[in-house]
Amino acid sequence: MPFHGGLDWGGTSHAVCVIDGAGEVVIRIEAPYDAAGLSDMLARLRRVAPPAELPIAIERPSGLIVDALVEGGHPVIPIHPNVVKAWRPRYRAAIDSPIALAFIGRYPTPDSASRLGEKRLASFLAQHAYCGRRSATELLARLRAAPTGLAHDAEADARGELARALVAILERLVAEIAKLSSRIEHAVAELPDGRIAMSFPRAGRICAAQILAELGNVRERFPTEDQLAAEAGVCPVTHASGKSRGVVFR
């Protein structure tokens, strides 16, 4: 059975986790950042599998910990943290999207989804205005390639009823969130400071509302040049050219 390890780099200690081919955790190791700690970590890893058969993923390609792993015979795979950050949304569940909720509501159990054919899936996608780039054939292949559930019929049916109940709750929540978002958008658009915040690149109305919630009154917090001049006792004088200069009050 293949094993894979991941190492979380730390300033005073390192954390190592090893999983097997089924994704089950085999061992967790807390290794102090010293010679004795690294030696103990390598010894405990050797008890799991031969070093050559236990690759270790780590967030940086250099350093004493990397040297120790390489010298110990482990394949070291550097993975930049940004790679993981960019990867998460690709596999994150979007259970709040209308089409996802509709699918779970109609096919709440693995058994009901297994009877889904290509034509029926294509009809479902068209009915719910699916805007993804994958065809019904591709989506059905991914669905059938998913791990098989281990629940018995009675348990699967019960889980299906729970799934339908959660869908009903989420649909109501999504509808209420949409209403609140609409009210926020209209309220922000009517505020002078809201129009300022919305002028920021890629701000949008909801983001502008968050900006105002953090900053408060933008015009008071960030006064104009005329307001600064007035506070300093300087009267701005405008020339015919359109430019202005400050005149100090005496």
For the residues of 161-226, what is the DSSP string, one character each? HHHHHHHHHHHHHHHHHHHHHHHHHHHHHTSHHHHHHHTSTT-HHHHHHHHHHHH--HHHHS--HH
Of these ranges, 20-34, 39-53, 209-223, the one predicted with the greatest mean pLDDT is 39-53
Averaged pLDDT for residues 78-89: 75
Which residues of the chain are in CATH 3.30.420.40 domains? 3-84
Least confident interval from 2-16, 159-173, 185-199: 185-199
Q: What is the mean pLDDT of residues 236-249?
A: 47
Distance between CA atoms of residues 236 and 126, nearest Å: 63
- With 90 as the cut, is the pLDDT of residue 164 above it? yes
Indicate whether 31 pLDDT > 50: yes
pLDDT band at 28 (very low <50, low <70, confident <90, very high): very high
pLDDT for position 235: 58
pLDDT reading at 48 higher than 50: yes
Element (H, E) at 110: helix 110-114
CB distance 119 to 101 below 8 Å: no
Residue 88 dihedral angles phi and psi, to the nearest 5°: -55, -50
Q: What is the pLDDT, as a whole number, of residue 42?
A: 93
Which whole number is the average pLDDT over 200-208? Answer: 76
Q: What is the average pLDDT value for the chain, to the nearest integer?
A: 82
pLDDT of residue 90: 65
pLDDT > 70? residue 168: yes
Average pLDDT score over residue span 126-148: 88
Over range 102-108, report the average pLDDT: 93
CA–CA distance, 16 with 77 (Å, rounded to integer): 14
Q: Which fold has domain 3-84?
A: Nucleotidyltransferase; domain 5 (3.30.420)
When pLDDT is cut at 50, 70 and 90, the band that residue 54 belongs to is: very high
pLDDT, one tens digit per residue, over 172-189 is: 999 998 898 888 888 888
| Band of pLDDT at residue 108, cut at 50, 70 and 90 | very high
